Amino acid sequence: MLKKPFRILVVILGLLAGFLPLSVSAAPALDPENTIYLDLPAGRVVIQMLPDLAPRHVSRIKELARKGFYDGLTFHRVIPGFMAQTGDPRGDGSGGSGQKLKSEFSSEQHIRGTVSMARTSDPDSADSQFFICLAPASYLDAKYTVWGRVVSGMEYVDKIKAGSPFNNGVVSNPTKIVHMKVARDVKP
């Protein structure tokens, strides 16, 4: 048995060398029914859905994903240092699925990786469009429906083609969603 100071030294050296994980506890498994796989050209983004915060929005996103609604849609509005928006079949920010949702605002913060619904000035106008925060945006807190958070793959979100911040983030030749699926429906 190693003496305590020596064990501490071994752990510190292991952490510094990258041989040991920073946390020895395993992350909780994601519920496949409330997990979205957002496949982008650069790679897979895994989104943990938050049905406790926004049950109607989560249900609608899953329904649309299961219909293949999001496959091939563009990230039509991407503002560097703010967010990347998608979910419009017209590709210009004016379209949707045709079903408006009543807001489900919460105290959940808009931080990097937050997935939230886009809407007009009407709080109950969210439809199919959503955005992924690229950076904290606290001024959106309690004003937009948060329905998920990116748990892996933010490096792929960062590769989504950006628009000009001077043109409201409109993107020419935008990045497209390859597939967006509920994890439960994806065969291993």
**pLDDT tens by residue, 172-181:** 999 999 999 9
C-alpha 88/C-alpha 119 separation (Å) is 11
Per-residue pLDDT at 16 = 46
Domain boundaries, the chain: 27-185
Retrieve residue 71's tokens.
Answer: 């496959």
C-alpha 63/C-alpha 78 separation (Å) is 25
C-alpha 84/C-alpha 116 separation (Å) is 10
CA dihedral sign, ordered 10, 11, 15, 21? positive
Q: Say whether pLDDT at 68 is over 80.
A: yes
What fold does the segment set 27-185 form as a domain? Cyclophilin (2.40.100)
C-alpha 118/C-alpha 131 separation (Å) is 6
C-alpha 64/C-alpha 70 separation (Å) is 7
**Amino acid code (one letter) for 175:** T
Among the listed residues 142, 85, 152, 75, the one whose alpha carbon sits nearest the alpha carbon of residue 113 = 152
What element of type H or E holds 12? helix 4-17
Instruction: Name the pTM for this structure.
Output: 0.85
**pLDDT tens by residue, 122-173:** 999 999 999 999 999 999 999 999 999 999 999 999 999 999 888 999 999 9
**pLDDT tens by residue, 118-133:** 999 999 999 999 999 9
Rounded mean pLDDT of 49-67? Answer: 98
Per-residue pLDDT at 165 = 80
**pLDDT tens by residue, 31-44:** 999 999 999 999 99
